[in-house]
Structure 1
């Protein structure tokens, strides 16, 4: 197989259709710099599948398309074709001629063709695999490969060896496996996150399931405990109710006798209280008079004692003041003499200080003037030296800056030319990335919005579930509370009605009369007065307190019936009985309590007569009737019939309100239960929707993030390119202006530096003279400065002493004056105090005599009060005993009745609570539970503990068991997927290890073969010597550096960096050919690899080519005429007759002239050297 033709159209500078025909042997391509010779090399790389734009000397792949010139417009398509002779069947296709074509449009669409039929890049790669062809093969050897071998960067050298060994395929597979491994790791991480999330849900649901199961267990146990306690309480309450009925009957019979004993005791206590009040009034008046007399006596005694103490203190103080006055006068005389001496000393010191200050000022002024002169001289010197240095440095920097600016201007213009081609491609990439990102952003926003809506719906559903369960619990508690309240109210009503039916509290005679009312005829006995009065509870209490026993009076039809009852009462020998004939019309005052009560017609006149004009005083503890008589009823027993009936009315009204509240609470409970069921179902649906939406949102976010990174990268690249272009334009203009300015500034700086250096020499001489004068002035100023400091110190001491003595003298004079005033004041006060003490002693004797008489009369009054107190105490004790007995009787009666009512109510409340809580009739509940044998105390504690545990559990999820099973199945499924991914990850890791092993073996085998080839070719080129290539770390052949050692004949073995440039180039060529021979291809293109060789080494290079060209076609791009004449069998000349467009202008084959389209005329022409010179001349 051999290469027969290369076709180019629109590729880089080859705008027109161009054919290059190749025969066996070596073909040279010559031409001046910049004419497009290396574009031939790039075209061969490109058509064989090169995907890296940098390998084609470009920034993007679309740069291979002809960009236009001053006379031509850009083309839209680049196309290159390689023609192969496949007569030997090297390529596995049934064609004798094979054409490989690649086409690229400006839209970025790349196409491949095999014999003009469309195919994939993979098809091309599979076709040429094993032939030595391919984008990564050694089919092209160029000068930068020599640079790569000679480079200090190990990666560049290693890349050539890896291409020869075919390790790149394994590296691609390894990168693909690592990418899949990374994706698998990411998927595994996400799956772990999902499993953790589901695991948390499983654990949460497991806790909810355990709570639900625990709730059921506790509820069942609580049912048995509470029903056991309820059964026992029911039985205990029945026994207690029977005992209460018997006790109530006994208490009702004992009530009238207790009332009579209470009235007698109250009268006796009132008489004793009046006697005690009279005695207390007399004693109080005498005690007040005696207390006033005692206070006056004590006051006088205190004032006399104080006066005596003041007299003694004044005498003592007068003696001390006289002594202090004498001492102060002597001290003042001594201090005055000492102060006069201090004034003389201060005046002398002030004169010495004034002289020192004047001398110091003169010396200081002289020193400052000299210092200014020195500073000015030094400043002038420094300024001159600094200015000279700066100007010299400025001139040097300006020259350096000018050179750098010139270089920068050249680079800027080159970069602008390269940047213009990049902008169009970057704009296309940015527009495409923006469109894709917009679509992905819309999809991500929609997915996120859907996920947020789903999450909000789930949160709302959860909130609704919690609220519904809270409402259900609250409604259940309300129903239970209302039931308990109603049971209590019903029990109270039942108890009060029972008391009312049994006439509890009614006088025994009245009760007996009502039982035997039939003997007096029909409608003769109308009933107790209390039956005809209606009032609210407050008014009923006032009426009962005022009427007392009268409330038990019996109303009869007329006076005749009253006479008959009187006869019956005498015969029956009963207690007191008050009768009120209905036909009597007693006087009835207006107003009072009568207007606050309702009275039936039969007894209305008596009610108005008894209560008319009666007013209450204070809080109802006293009453005043229409005559002005005041009633103080004192303590009363329990509630009477009026209050009972008022309380029954209020309780019945409260019962009706309670029934209404219970109906409303039951409706709310049913609604809450329905809401709980609906909320649970809504929560399950919302949770499933949320999971699906969140997964979609995560996928959309991942895609958008990837596209955002792409768009941001394209945007940054485009913005950077645009900014760079603008900066380059501005920079080019700035640099041109700067170059002109730098030249002028450098000239001026040199002239100014010379002037400043002359000025610096003059300033040095003047500075030396000024510094000597400054040193002399400084010494004189120091001497007088010390003298001034000493004088100031002495002056300060003298002034301080004078001030201190003046202050002490003033203080002593003030103290003497104060002592004179104090002695005068003490004498006057002593005289006045003696006169006052005499008057007070006479007044004290008269008051003590009057006090003795009053105290004797007070003792007699105290004795009378004590006797009255004893009598009153005895009467009150007796009254208290009677009251306590009556109160205890009434309290016991009321307590028994209330207890009876409470037990009945509690029994009913318990029944209703149990039926409401467990939703079954009580009889059915009592027959369905398992009675417990534990003690009641333990059961109550257990019931309370069960209730507390249930409250701690709170609201449980009744669907937790089903949800937990579903989440467990999901967790198992995800865990199985995780196991599959873990196995896939392990398989990928194993594949990477196997790839590394295979690549290592392949690399080592190729390395050994390259080493052998390198040694043979080195001997051919150098005619002897030694060479070698070594791995820096044989244990890491795929990562370590490759060292090249060479020793031309007559030299010691050394690294190639120590050889001359020509020798290093020839060693690199030896190694490149050694790499090429490891996997030889049908042809080899050499792109200016002979450029660094001298004539001697060119000869060696040509001999090597002549040795190998019988087996391999060579295409040689060169500037060297010797290579062309001695090695080339054919020559192509490339030039740019039209600016920016490459073309073939001359071709010579052995003995035949061929024009640019590949057709020959058969006439012999000049030799190769003449032809190449003609090509160069035409260019």
Structure 2
């Protein structure tokens, strides 16, 4: 592998796109000072992942983008691409050429690409990790490295060896582990503090929870008894209710029946009355119809007599015309048939004549054809027939020879075919085994790949869950830290409050004594009041020292307090005996004036909360003090009251009675007391909120850990399945290899058979080809013989038939001539007769058509007289209708009498049923009243179940059956009630609180265990890293030391050098000294050597490191700048030797170095601020380098 090309655009001084093609060996980039040649080294360093602008010789990263010149504008982006030859797969990518690109825009955005595909910087760093080409590796060595070796102290020089040994990442990891260990120990301390606090709460909460459970059990029993008792009462009352329902139902059924009978009788009576009315209407209608029918009957009988006379004359005329028409139709039909028959005869005569003419013409043509003889043609065909017989004999002889050859080939082919069948069987079996093995391998590979994907997915899930657990735990421990800080602050404030910190000595002494020996002490004013935060400063200002006034119950208590201070000589205090202190309030006049003023808030006493038993105390102190929004408002209110009221603003300024004002910066002595109380309350509220958030986080941690553990189990199972799948895949591959070997053997045998068989088939094909030609010749000759034979026979037959045919044609010609004459005469006669018959039929048809038209006219005239039959029919119908109406009239009159009798009977039955219904109604009302009372009682008890227990009667009856009688149940309920009363006040929240605290304690114990394990693991990791750093440093140091001894001798041409540890017993902190003895000199420390010797010794050390940590290519940026000519020559020759294993890109302006280069690249700055690559010849290199020299 080697660096093939670098592409630069917009990087530092390279404004234009530039490509430098490198070759294996030594590549020299030369140019005068300030031309920008070292920017090539910076470009390589940058694309390999360098993030430090300082390492790239800039102040900030944007400095690497071309900044413009006098003639060019600044560019917006910088881009560098390294192209690496990767034929040996040195980099873990399946490409023969790998390009790595880095872009930077002035906006600060960056892009990273591998083979023109977008990626992360991390991907590039990982690609070059452990390749010797990373930004931290020794693949780029600048002059600064040489100076670092020369100027460093032994302890600082150690960093170079650590970098070569790869210890830096372990030191960083160790530092992270130590930081994490410190955090873990802090978290462990916090968890143990919280555990200690919670464990003190567990036992009291456990007792309270037990009492609460006892209370709940008794309450549950009481509820169950109450439900069961109520359900039993409902059941009992419901039975009576059901019995009443049945009785009421029976009575209502009887009522319904009676009502139904009454309704039925009423309906029937109505029907009878309606029927009578209907009959009366029908009788009247039928009488009218009977009169109308009689009148119509007389009219129709007169009309019938007139029509009978007209019809008689028309009928006789029609019969006569119809008879004539029938006769004429028969005659016309007979004429038509005769004409059609004659036409057919005429057509046949004409056809026969035409046919005879065609026959005559045909005979004439045949006569011409048979006149010529074909005897000469027959003789010619017989000669050709003899020649073909000779050809046929020659083909038969050759066929016999070919048949013998084929038999010999078939025998050989049969022997090979038997062998081939065996070979084919072997190959078929081998192919099946290969196919089965491939299927098995493919399935095993798919299973293995699937398990790999499953494992990867689970691994990612486990990592995400682990990170989530870690993040949640960090949040939890941070929450613990805040809780701990808040609790510590609360503890401090509570101790200050308990010690009455901030109070005067005398006040503090009285308040402390009030807890022990002194009675009647209520507390300080500051303890008794509660002030909203917005009014705190104003109230503190208004009260001033009165905040520390001590309130006692009586004057006697006050005197005892003062005597105590005198006795103990503990200072003074102001005492406010509650029984004698009287409130002071604003007059109504002042209050009215102030309330109307702008900026008025309230009186100071009203802004303070205090127990009502001591309200007069605060009224006494603040009742005549007013709160204002601002000093201007206070001045205005003071003028309204004539400067007789004390007014305090929210920011602590005061307008005193008389007009004086007090203000400025507030003091802290008095304000500490109220501020402390407010802070303490806020902290307690904050502590409760943080505790709730902490518990929520604990639940999330617990759940996420459970998820992670489940995933870990799945991951282990997936790993096991993956190993099984991998073993199955390896086994399948082995089986496939064996099967493929067997298949190859079988194919080899078949290949040998194919060669032998191919030879036989070629011979067989040659014989078959010749046989085919013979067959074609044989068939051709036979065909020609058959054709000749047929032609000769046919010609002789034709010649014989020709003579016979000529005789026949002569006879036929004579006969046809006679027939033609007769047929012509017959056709003429038939045509004349056909014309006559046609004319006769046409005349008869015209007569028939006229007569039929006359009959149609007569029929139309007669149709108008057909109404005579309709008249007769109408008369008959009218007579029948008249008789029917007469019979119906007689029946209706009988029905009318019957309907009147039925109506009278129905009225009597209705009166009887009405009396029976009234008696039943009274009985039904009595039962209904009792049922309503039961409904109310049942609703009351059902509502009791629903309102108190949210349970239906059915569920209560099924789930809470009564095991005792009603009275015993009531007594038991009274006992349970007394038991509940004896328990007194019960903290029901203690059950959940105990469970919550107990769960937290359990969780925190788990956290404590996890943190202890984590602490131990981190300590082990730190120790392992120390061991690994010692091992790596020691091994690398010895390896570099070994290379350094020989490299020094090669560079100096003799002498000796060595590396020494300043403190070999402490490998993690020891420094490194360099001792050298150039040829002809004594051994001495590096600092005592000459400048050139120092530089060459440093280069020897750097080359030794490169040998120990080899890289495919190495960039040397003016490392030989400080060497004199003699040492430079040695350096250049050694570089040439070293280039056999490592590609060098040397940035130099020294001629000796250039002479050893395989290729030179010139960098010049012809345009100010813009670097450009130029072609360089060896003889011009010196001039190019010195062109910029002064």
Normalised TM-score (structure 1): 0.34
